[in-house]
Structure 1
């Protein structure tokens, strides 16, 4: 069962969002090669929608390793990613108030065993799910997205996905409606919408696993800031050199950072239980 083996975490701190970006880099740049690794020299994949999104990461309980991630772009974004591709042609795509819409994107599950061996930006805190874990992880992420969405007043999700992935989601019980034309974007992709309430009913009816998950809504996800443990460590480049990546992408941080005096790869050690900026430690 998902919540015996994994847990979904809402990435609500800069340290946890760095984990999210590292998982995306591993999957999108190293494993699938959807994005150019050279565009992200610090090993964290990002884009302009990150500041308008809720980020979720998945941890394997037994090994305490991070294995998956997903992002929900919220309605305060000027445009959803799918809208910029001009592939929405159905009137169904605009049938709801914008405040009730969000877009699911950056669905990432690490498949490479010992991913740190192929990605120098990762360490032993990152693991892989393997094919046997993908089904449960997808259900757990869908459950978290539905619960989070309903709490935010969201009723419908946009998705831009391949036909094969759409078939997989439909087998799980996700109700998808095509709302536009197939486009060539990292391969052929189709825009869909998923009604959250109809999907949750379908999943509960079809899957005993999901029925158990959905009955324990309070366990759908927890915030990273609420996790046990004091120290969290993450790698990042000093912000004056490579961050932010573009003027329209704002850096968000819960703590003021003193900037190291020269470029390199650094560890920021930030103690959540006490106030203060944390400590930069060079690893180069």
Structure 2
């Protein structure tokens, strides 16, 4: 996925003021997640056959063992992007079925501390509902100058949610070009196998969540501020629906998280990396 990854000093303000990430933990929100995937993987990239998903919702059997996220614009409420984190209790990770991993590469990591990032989708087609009959005007696109903001927001979501669940490392299968772009913004990738043919040549990597969080935070004060606002990393759709029906009282502030309308279990597991003298002021 080519991205225009020019990091700006106001990245924390731009993402959190312009977008929000929702954990798709309801039937309706999961349908939105699958519709975004259909738009990107079937309509825009032609990675999947649209005829295999007559309802316009791309899915696979790993979805039952994954945390699924969707991104919407705050001003319009339109859905524009998605990402998935396959969880440790899956029988296998998608990457493992491709037989491209180096044996013994993760012997030092317990299975319950592993996940896999996949189905990274950013809608690029303006007015996607004009071409995709399964969408309506509640779906929109991300302009090239905002793709870097959305990608950083998605990375923050995966790191925060993963650490909350005790996941310390994540697999990724990406092209060389995408790997270079991720490294350029501070994502730390460790090669763990050989490139394989999977919708083009892609190589397997392992990303340490804490290592990457520290690397990103040290890139600039602006990105450090983005990660400091971890409470904004995502909100579960089920909680938002409950709040819409019956607003809940605000809880007491949590360390590193601040006051918010909702709290999440295990949020104490996420700790913001301390800045170093290498951090650049934004």
Please give the range of the TM-score, normalised by the shorter of the 2 chains.
0.7 to 0.9
C-alpha separation in 2, matches of 1:21 and 1:151: 24
Give CA-to-partner distance per residue, 1:27-58, whole Å, 9 cap, x none. Answer: 00000000000000000000010000000000
Per chain length, whose mean CA-contact separation is higher, i.e. which structure has more relative contact order (CA < 8 Å, sep 6+)?
2
Aligned length: 230
1:1-284 to structure 2, matched below 5 A, reads 1-227=14-240, 229=244
Supply the RMSD in Å over aligned alpha carbons: 1.1
Give unmatched runs, 5+ long, in structure 1: 231-284
Between the aligned partners of 1:10 and 1:210, the Cα distance in structure 2 is 22
Shift, 1:189, TM fit: 0.3
- Kept in 2, the 8 Å contact 1:162–1:189? The answer is yes
Displacement of 1:208 in angstroms is 3.2
The alignment partner of 1:91 has SS state of coil
Deviations 1:210-250 (A, max 9, x none): 211211111111111222656xxxxxxxxxxxxxxxxxxxx
- Long gaps (5+) in structure 2: 1-13, 246-282
SS at match of 2:106: helix
Looking at structure 2, the residues matched to 29 and 94 of structure 1 have their Cα atoms a distance apart, in angstroms, of: 36
Distance (Å, rounded) in 2 between the aligned partners of 1:147 and 1:133: 21
Q: Secondary structure at the match of 1:206?
A: coil
Q: Tell me, yes or no, if the aligned pair for 1:53 and 1:72 is still in contact at 8 Å.
A: yes
Deviation >2 Å, runs of 4+: 90-95, 207-210, 226-230
TM-score, length basis structure 2: 0.80
TM-score by length of 1: 0.79
Q: 1:125 to 1:160 in 2, by over 3 A?
A: same
